[in-house]
Amino acid sequence: MDRLVPTNSPVRGIYSRNIVRLGVLAGALVTAWYAIGAFGRPYNFFDMKIYHGAAVWWASGHDLYAYAAPDTGLGFTYPPFAGLLMSPMARVPFAAAAWINVIASLLALAVVMWALLGPISRRYGWSRWFATGLSVAAAAAIEPVRETLGYGQINLLLFLLIMADMVALRWRARASAGFLPTGGALVRFVRGGAWAGVGIGLAASIKLTPALFVVYFLVTRQWRAATTAVATAIGVTAATFMVAGKDSAAYWLRVVFETERVGAADMTPNQSLAGVLARLYDTVEAPTLLWLSFAVLMLALGLSRASRAHADGDELTAFVLVGLTANVISPISWTHHLVFVIPAIVVLADAAMRRRDASRGLESGRRLTRRGLTPSANMGGLAPLRTPIWFPALTGLRHASAAVGVYLLFLYSPIWPYEHQLPEFSHYEDGLWGALMENSLALALIILVATLPWRPGAEPAFYPETIRIDRRAIHQR
């Protein structure tokens, strides 16, 4: 190697750095595996057994929603379009279907993290593939992802569909600003983002809670994305009626109203607002009027903050707020549903780094002022800084601490040592501290909806008209 690549060659440095990065990634994956064993629960693809059994049952000519798992009696609860998508698993053994889902879910998580970290890695000069690999390993260890993988759930696949629309809005914003994609017609269509809304329409056809993103589109007047999402959902649902009319009618006329098929609200893994109220009142179900009152309040808070984030040019934070709000107001939000905690941690960490960089820039301007210089003369023509501006030495620490705290909370997941189930055990069996721990993830979601910061201009879904005209002129030149 010394003869092939001289010591002073930059290629040797690149090769060495990549070897070190691969070693770090391998260590991160091993650490994540041990963290899952230390903080997770025994997993046996519990939900995948229901999906696979229902698919085999349906393929043999029975009614989809008449299926009951042999051991638990639980049945299929998703819309019939989800049943159509899962029907091919009837042709493969259960173990194969479970591991295919694990691989597909990890690939979906990697694609999402690649998209989320793209703007951040470019800004800080990071290796994008290295940052994505580390983030996937870190995310795999926390409660929502390890529960999704261990139970054979589909949350990461739905997460990919929803976040694909955010990327489409990002691309459409660039195209509308004059940065038109080059290539064939298909490439221009995809990179132009004209299909924004398709992902959410498909996700809402598989599971109902993503439909809240359509409401968000309407609130923020993103009419095209809302129309596309609704048209997609109606189209695939109508197509499912043509293929499986009997099961579709059974679901939309009967099964969708049978909430007891999902589970009791007070169950510990239900970390929604309804679950919190049920456990605080020590009842199986949440008080209806109280839950509706607080749910409407949280809905208004989440959508209003998401609308403001969108208006300030941070579509990622807007999507995160809508996703977290859906988890909070849903009657049932199992811990494996809480995947929007992942981009929430990304937003908190990026907000901390942005604030730190801003304070350093202003501190540099203050030092120039002390020396009798002006930022306009030394910093590219910016306006002079006439008065010294003082920033705390630890600017951004609040958001960085919040990011670390949220990650550690969902890594350890303190709800399980205090799991209780009525009527055998009261939810106050371990006192107030036990009640707090049993509701800790839900309380964290509510706090995030109320306080998650957004980053002006970080992820715009639109550009002002004046900027659009100027950028088109630049592009033409």
CB-CB contact of 151 with 42 (8 Å) = no
* Entry pTM: 0.88
Average pLDDT, rounded, for the chain: 86
Residue in this structure with the two tokens 């990890």, named with its chain if needed: 106
Q: Please, which contacts does 181-188 make with residues 24 or more away whose CB atoms are closer than 8 Å? A: none
What is the per-residue pLDDT across 151-187, written as a single tens digit (0 to 9) for each? 999 999 999 999 999 999 988 888 777 776 777 777 7
More confident: 93 or 170 = 93
The residue with greater pLDDT, 466 or 50, is 50
Give mean pLDDT, residues 25-48: 93
Please check the confidence at residue 130 and state whether its pLDDT lies above 70: yes
| pLDDT-based confidence at residue 193 (cuts at 50, 70, 90) | confident
Q: Rounded CA gap, 87 and 76, in Å? A: 12
pLDDT of residue 388: 44
Show Cβ contacts of residue 11 under 8 Å, excluding neighbours closer than 6 positions: 5
- Report pLDDT for 81: 95
Range with the lowest mean pLDDT among 163-172, 188-197, 398-407, 457-466?
A: 457-466
Beta bridge partners of 459: 314
CA distance between the termini of the chain:
48
What is the structure's pLDDT at 10?
53
Alpha helices by DSSP H, listed for 177-287, are: 185-191, 198-206, 212-219, 223-243, 245-253, 273-280
The pLDDT, as a whole number, for residue 272 is 96
The three-state secondary structure class of 2 is: coil
Write the CB contacts of 361 (distance below 8 Å, at least 6 apart in sequence): none
Specify the pLDDT at position 460: 81
Place of tokens 């609704």: 230
pLDDT tens-digit readout, 382-426: 444 444 444 445 667 889 999 999 999 999 999 999 998 888 889
Task: Name the residue ranges covered by the structural domains of the chain.
Answer: 40-257, 263-477
Angle between helices 143-151 and 155-176 (to 10 degrees): 120
* Tokens at 156, concatenated: 């990461």
What separation in angstroms does the CA of 305 have from each of 88, 379, 464? 41, 35, 20
Looking at the chain, the whole-number percentage of residues with pLDDT higher than 70 is 86
d(CA 246, CA 381): 69
pLDDT confidence of residue 367:
54
Alpha carbon 17 to its chain's center: 31
Mean pLDDT value of segment 195-211 = 95
